[in-house]
Amino acid sequence: MSASTPSSRTPVGGPHLAVIGGGQLARMMAQAAVALGVPVRLLAEGPQVSAAQVVPDTTVGDYRDLETLRTVAAGCAAVTFDHEHVPTGHLHALAAEGHPCRPGPEALVHAQDKGVMRARLDELGVPSPRHRLVENAEEAVRFAESIDGLPIVLKTTRGGYDGKGVWVVASAGDCADAFAAAGSTGVEVLAEERVDFRRELSALVARSPSGHLAAYPVVESVQRDGICWEVTAPAPDLDADLAVEAQRIAMRVAAELDVTGILAVEMFETREGRVLVNELAMRPHNTGHWSMDGAVTSQFENHLRAVLDLPLGSPACREPWTVMVNILGGEHGELSEDLYAGYPHVLARDPRLRVHLYGKEVKPGRKVGHVTAYGDDLEEVRERARHAAAWFRGDLGMESE
């Protein structure tokens, strides 16, 4: 008997795929890769991160180190990403050395830098909130005065996620505070109109290097404190023309920016019935997790197929309604520290519920899993998903049942 090491295992079959970053997105890509028979080689931040728990061929290292990236990419058919933080220069170097990066650096920069993204969308005539790059609090205030006045939104152009690096500012003092916080990160600041939106939508597409596109149904997403909280697929009561417009925008951006893999376009639906692009992400996205249980082909499988330039699978809904609710680390009681302890209640209450846990340590506010419910009756489906997520968070006491 001997413990085997990753290097002693050379799986039979298709080309290897390098995945940079070991979070839950990489974990769920790996899950999809099992079925496709595609061997994944992972570069993880640590030996116990979410994806490293389920990928034997894991290297622990720093994605900011080019030599590490080269080692992981060697012999792989393509390199793809769990996050958007790999330095653009490194991606150019890998590409120049013959390692196909998917998405490639020219595309990915639009998901890495909000200033670049806004400028490109303007060129394409894609509707965005009004915006301007600003260098100090005074410029931010002048921008506000040029539109409808304060409040406005200030964002660092790089490095923000899940609400980090974003401030809603209502006064000159707020602007100064935001710049003080942003200044420490050493990046530019984008000032944007604060959109009085009806709701947030998300349009996901998968695109292969050959140009095959698959557009998922447009979904409604609910954010809390800048973090995705709940997604309903398809977006309820969405005007059919507006749904097509949202999908057209996502397909056009994917094609114009030469995105490969999943592109998520987060949008505001305004009260006047328009859509404005808020953010771009070029990887499987939280607003697409519903597809694992609710679509014919999950966003994770279509991401893999796209980056390997295989024909894409149908993105169609399998059910009238699918609702995904994130499980965030809670602050209440024992359940919130031991997700497994939530199973007896949650699984027995709802035999049709789908649960996805990420193997992450529970910390308040951290995304540690998600639940999905589907069915014919939207209110019932929502209640099932919300209840289960609340139980895992520890927000429901035993007495509420």
Subset of residues 264 to 303 that bind a second copy, contact rule: CB under 8 A: 296-297
Choose one: 164-172, 238-246, 270-278, 359-367; the region binding a second copy (CB under 8 A): 359-367
Report the residue number, 110 or 305, with the smaller CB distance to a second copy.
305
Report the residue number, 214 or 219, with the smaller CB distance to a second copy.
214
Among 186, 334, 340, 379, binds a second copy (CB under 8 A): 340
**To the nearest whole angstrom, how small is the minimum distance from the Cβ of residue 4 to a second copy?**
4
Q: Which helix (H) or strand (E) holds 169?
A: strand 166-169
Give the pairing type, strands 189-193 and 131-134: antiparallel
Among 348, 398, 399, 401, binds a second copy (CB under 8 A): 348
Q: What is the CA radius of gyration of the chain?
A: 21
Cα torsion 57, 287, 119, 188: sign: negative
Report the residue number, 268 or 374, with the smaller CB distance to a second copy.
374
Subset of residues 174 to 193 that bind a second copy, contact rule: CB under 8 A: none
Instruction: Provide the H-helix boundaries in 295-377.
Output: 299-307, 343-349
From residue 91, give the alpha-carbon distance in Å to each of 103, 106, 152, 289.
10, 9, 34, 27
Subset of residues 306 to 325 that bind a second copy, contact rule: CB under 8 A: 310-314, 316, 318
Subset of residues 361 to 380 that bind a second copy, contact rule: CB under 8 A: 361, 369
How many residues form the binding site for a second copy (CB under 8 A)? 70
Report the residue number, 54 or 255, with the smaller CB distance to a second copy.
54
**To the nearest whole angstrom, how small is the minimum distance from the Cβ of residue 314 to a second copy?**
4
Whether 361 contacts 349, CB under 8 Å: no
- How far apart are the C-alpha atoms of 307 and 261, rounded to whole Å? 5
Report the residue number, 278 or 298, with the smaller CB distance to a second copy.
298
Residue with tokens 């604060």: 194
Among 41, 110, 305, 367, binds a second copy (CB under 8 A): 305
- How far apart are the C-alpha atoms of 288 and 370, rounded to whole Å? 11
In 3D space, the residue among 94, 5, 20 whose CA is nearest the CA of residue 51 turns out to be 20
Subset of residues 17 to 56 that bind a second copy, contact rule: CB under 8 A: 27-28, 30-31, 34-37, 39, 44, 47-48, 52-56
**To the nearest whole angstrom, how small is the minimum distance from the Cβ of residue 82 to a second copy?**
15
- How far apart are the C-alpha atoms of 327 and 368, rounded to whole Å? 6
Report the residue number, 131 or 289, with the smaller CB distance to a second copy.
289
Whether 130 contacts 118, CB under 8 Å: no
Long-range contacts (CB closer than 8 Å, 24 or more residues apart) made by 64-70: 64/90, 66/90, 66/93, 66/94, 68/43, 69/20, 69/43, 69/94, 70/94, 70/97, 70/99
Subset of residues 70 to 99 that bind a second copy, contact rule: CB under 8 A: 71
- How far apart are the C-alpha atoms of 59 and 68, rounded to whole Å? 9
**To the nearest whole angstrom, how small is the minimum distance from the Cβ of residue 295 to a second copy?**
11
Whether 232 contacts 220, CB under 8 Å: yes
Give the pairing type, strands 219-224 and 197-207: antiparallel
Contact status: 171 vs a second copy (CB under 8 A)? no
Report the residue number, 110 or 354, with the smaller CB distance to a second copy.
354
Choose one: 1-9, 98-106, 187-195, 215-223; the region binding a second copy (CB under 8 A): 1-9
Interface ranges with a second copy (CB under 8 A)? 1-15, 27-28, 30-31, 34-37, 39, 44, 47-48, 52-56, 58-62, 65, 67-68, 71, 214, 296-297, 305, 310-314, 316, 318, 339-340, 343-344, 347-348, 351-361, 369
